[in-house]
Amino acid sequence: MFKLAITNDGNSTFSIANVAGHFKKVLADITLPIVGLVIFLGLWSLVAKSIDTSLGQFPGPSQVLEQTYSLIDEHNVQQDKAEQFYERQHKRNEARLAQDPTYEAKVRPFTGAPTFFDQIWTSLYTVAVGFLIASFIAVPLGIVCGLSKSVYSAINPLIQLFKPVSPLAWLPLVTMVVSAAYVSDDPIFAKSFITSAFTVSLCCLWPTLINTAVGVSSIDKDLINVSKVLRLNAFTHVMKIVLPSSIPLIFTGLRLSLGIGWMVLIAAEMLAQNPGLGKFVWDEFQNGSSESLARIMVAVLAIGMIGFVLDRLMLVLQKYVSWDKTAVLR
């Protein structure tokens, strides 16, 4: 646009006006959210000062920022410790190997307390596993429900029955079942991890299932007729016609599911004592130091931001998978 303004005098005023308009729009796009944020921070610090709890004053933005730095510091310290531990272990093993070539070196993992960032990582991993299990069940089942009215009628009451159930109700059942069923001398996964992941699955099954079924059942009738005239077999029909046309609703379901899964996970981790953000919050609460509330607030903000990022990631994935590149996704 600037190039045009320089090379073509006739258009210059138009272009400058255009650029100015564009600039104004960008300014509005940036400033308005910042104004909102500043007002929120101001109100927060004002209100926080007037709330006194048994653990001290409710944390305002500055305390939360402070605790964020302290959590980062703790993480760095812990990582240094871990590095030093592995280095020492490595040296020790080499020394023993030099003395006795038949010695089989043992590598012991570092057992320091997990930091906030380790907890975030664990949470992400758990929610990913739970969400993937749910999706692998819900999408195919949703397609079958959408294709066959009879299957849908058969399954619909179950969907309606289980959809509103809180994760907290499932958790004791899942815990007991996992304890009974998952018996292994050398478990690859911790029981608490499996419990949390399954609870997440149980709760984020439904939005994907329902949306996929709706998406599949609302395919354009003419496209189905095309498929009939071409005598596409069931597999080709699903791959060429059903999936592409129901992608938008499948992704709506997946995004809702992931959002629910992330919320459920925090609760599940608190109760199942699975390491993760939920356990971090619970531990801080039990710890009850004067910094606890600020640290919990850091976790709250982190949970919110991660939830937002997860949703954006799904949107990017949808854009990549969807055939309609012009569709406005939000």
Q: Footprint of other proteins on this chain (CB under 8 A)? A: 220-223, 225-226, 228-232, 236, 240-241, 244-245, 323-324, 326
In the complex with other proteins, the residue whose CB is nearer, 199 or 318, is 318
In the complex with other proteins, the residue whose CB is nearer, 108 or 231, is 231
In the complex with other proteins, the residue whose CB is nearer, 153 or 225, is 225
In the complex with other proteins, the residue whose CB is nearer, 194 or 242, is 242
Angle subtended by helix axes 116-147 and 243-272, to nearest 10: 140
Minimum distance from CB of 325 to other proteins (Å)? Answer: 9
What are the backbone angles phi and psi of residue 325, rounded to the nearest 5°? -75, -15
Minimum distance from CB of 232 to other proteins (Å)? Answer: 6
Minimum distance from CB of 314 to other proteins (Å)? Answer: 20
Minimum distance from CB of 328 to other proteins (Å)? Answer: 14
Three-state SS string across the chain, please? Answer: CHHHHHHCHHHHHHHHHHHHHHHHHHHHHHHHHHHHHHHHHHHHHHHHHCCEECCEECCCHHHHHHHHHHHHHHHHHHHHHHHHHHHHHHHHHHHHHHHCCCCCCCCCCCCCCCCHHHHHHHHHHHHHHHHHHHHHHHHHHHHHHHHCHHHHHHHHHHHHHHCCCCHHHHHHHHHHHHHHHCCCCCCCCCHHHHHHHHHHHHHHHHHHHHHHHHHHHCCCHHHHHHHHHCCCCHHHHHHHHHHHHHHHHHHHHHHHHHHHHHHHHHHHHHHHCCCCHHHHHHHHHHHCCCCHHHHHHHHHHHHHHHHHHHHHHHHHHHHHHCCCCCCCCC
Minimum distance from CB of 239 to other proteins (Å)? Answer: 11
Task: Dihedral sign for Cα 261, 126, 267, 79, please.
Answer: negative
In the complex with other proteins, the residue whose CB is nearer, 19 or 232, is 232
In the complex with other proteins, the residue whose CB is nearer, 13 or 236, is 236
In the complex with other proteins, the residue whose CB is nearer, 45 or 245, is 245
Minimum distance from CB of 173 to other proteins (Å)? Answer: 41
The span from the CA of 64 to the CA of 69, in Å, is 9
Structure-token pair, residue 109: 């993992």
In the complex with other proteins, the residue whose CB is nearer, 6 or 229, is 229
In the complex with other proteins, the residue whose CB is nearer, 232 or 306, is 232
Minimum distance from CB of 127 to other proteins (Å)? Answer: 31
Structure-token pair, residue 249: 């609703």
Minimum distance from CB of 246 to other proteins (Å)? Answer: 11
Minimum distance from CB of 242 to other proteins (Å)? Answer: 11
